[in-house]
Structure 1
Amino acid sequence: MGLWSIWRRTKSQPRTDTRYPTPLTAHQLWMVSLSAPVSRDHDASRTTLYPFTRLDDDSARGWLADQWEITSREELVDRLDELSRSGYRARAQRLLGVAPLAWDAALYVDIARRGFAAGLITEAEAWTALKNIVPSVVSAYSSWQGYADHYLLGRKVWRDGLEAARDPSPPAPQAVADAHLRALLDPANRASPWNLAPWDSISRPDRAR
């Protein structure tokens, strides 16, 4: 399918807020925002549990199968469990003496959101999965800046591993990820979920937005 056909198909699909009209609470947005570094695509939603701005369950299923070889609920649960326990940070610990949890946490939340969109887990189960990663992240970091720094470190270790293995499908250059993180951290960026959900909001009582 050509790019024009994909664009037309996507534009014809209903917007996500037609199915999920209720805005996320402060805590919910904070949890979803853990995956913001991964969500660079133009069609990515950073303010809903559903990962796209338009409803596209097939894309979620295809991405999980192509990128992670996840096609069942069991495979999704196993991958989330692996990322929560050790993930890629185990390799970084061996190489650098530092375990960048942020990289694995961002992937964990991204996969959980796509698993929800793909129908592999329910909405309630997706929120439970996100809540499960919160204590580890809060104990590891005190700001979005710290989270971003470790995300980039983890991504670099992962990317270097792909290059060493001569992966035929190289990821985006590190400069692209750097620029995306700068935009998320920019205090003038009103669209950044990190500005909409400051780091300390997860430690305060939840509220409607």
Structure 2
Amino acid sequence: MGLWRWRRRGPKAARRYPVPLTTHQLWMVSLSAPVSRDRGASRTTLYPFTRIDDDGARRWLAEQWEITSRAQLVGRLDELSRSGYRARAYRVTGVSPLAWDAALYVDIARRGFACGLIDEPDAWTALKNIVPAVVGTYASWQEYAAHYLLGRKVWREGLRGTADDGFPAPQATADAHLRALLDPENRSSPWNLAPWNTISHPDRIR
């Protein structure tokens, strides 16, 4: 018997959610692109994976965020929108990297939608709620990426000496992922599909 463990793959998420996103929707989903590094992650749909994996979303929220109910999800989103990790980062660096919290906020909302803690209209409402703060803070995906990396660095340093010290991917991995997202030649990057100023123009069907 081989060492590979067979796992049944779920159907493609596009079959359950076939309607393409509008340009504004894609822009909002793209706020979580720095977090979505896994091979099975989707960066261009509200559903966070390319294949249906509701149980995976549920496990992730429970194990990484201790979220198992709608109330806990809403509470965590509220906390990230108000202060999040950027409060500690400001004490350490003098800079408040909203991008780090915004990326986590959108990622959590999408996973909450995937496992049924919130429905699709509520998920879009949650994403819309973070837009004014993000647009008022940054003028480009480059600025957003720089603050995301700063927030991640402060977060990783805060894990030193804890049980989660070895959990995060190396900083070099995050750096490479951000470079790929910002690469103007990367046709699959959602940041190229939805440039920063997209959210400031009238919405349209892609």
**TMscore range, shorter length:** over 0.9
Pick the aligned partner of 1:78 from 75, 83, 104: 75
Partners of 2:48 and 2:164 in 1: CA distance? 27
Residue by residue over 1:130-181, the C-alpha shift from the partner in whole angstroms, topping out at 9 and shown as x without a partner, is 0000000000000000000000000000000001435354311000000000
| Structure 2 partner of 1:88 | 85
Three-state SS of the structure 2 residue aligned to 1:38 is coil
Pick the aligned partner of 2:105 from 94, 103, 108: 108
- Bigger helix share: 1
Is 2:118 the counterpart of 1:117? no
Question: Gaps spanning 5+ residues in structure 1: where?
Answer: none
Three-state SS of the structure 2 residue aligned to 1:4 is coil
Question: Are 1:60 and 1:114, in contact at CA under 8 Å, matched by a contact in 2?
Answer: yes
Question: Gaps spanning 5+ residues in structure 2: where?
Answer: none
Question: Are 1:14 and 1:54, in contact at CA under 8 Å, matched by a contact in 2?
Answer: yes
| Structure 1 partner of 2:34 | 37
| Structure 1 partner of 2:5 | 4
| Structure 1 partner of 2:148 | 151
Partners of 1:20 and 1:104 in 2: CA distance? 27
Three-state SS of the structure 1 residue aligned to 2:169 is coil
Amino acid at match of 1:149: A
Q: CA RMSD in A?
A: 1.1
| Structure 1 partner of 2:158 | 161
Identity of aligned residues (%): 75
Question: Are 1:163 and 1:170, in contact at CA under 8 Å, matched by a contact in 2?
Answer: no
**Displaced runs of 4 or more, over 4 A:** none
Partners of 2:87 and 2:81 in 1: CA distance? 11
| Structure 2 partner of 1:50 | 47
Pick the aligned partner of 1:176 from 173, 176, 196: 173
Amino acid at match of 2:5: W
| Structure 2 partner of 1:68 | 65
Q: Go from structure 1 to structure 2 and tell me whether the alpha carbon gap of 1:170 and 1:56 turns closer, same or farther (over 3 Å shift).
A: closer
Residue by residue over 1:34-93, the C-alpha shift from the partner in whole angstroms, topping out at 9 and shown as x without a partner, is 000000000000110000000110000000001001000000000000000000000011
Distance apart, 1:9 and its partner CA: 1.4
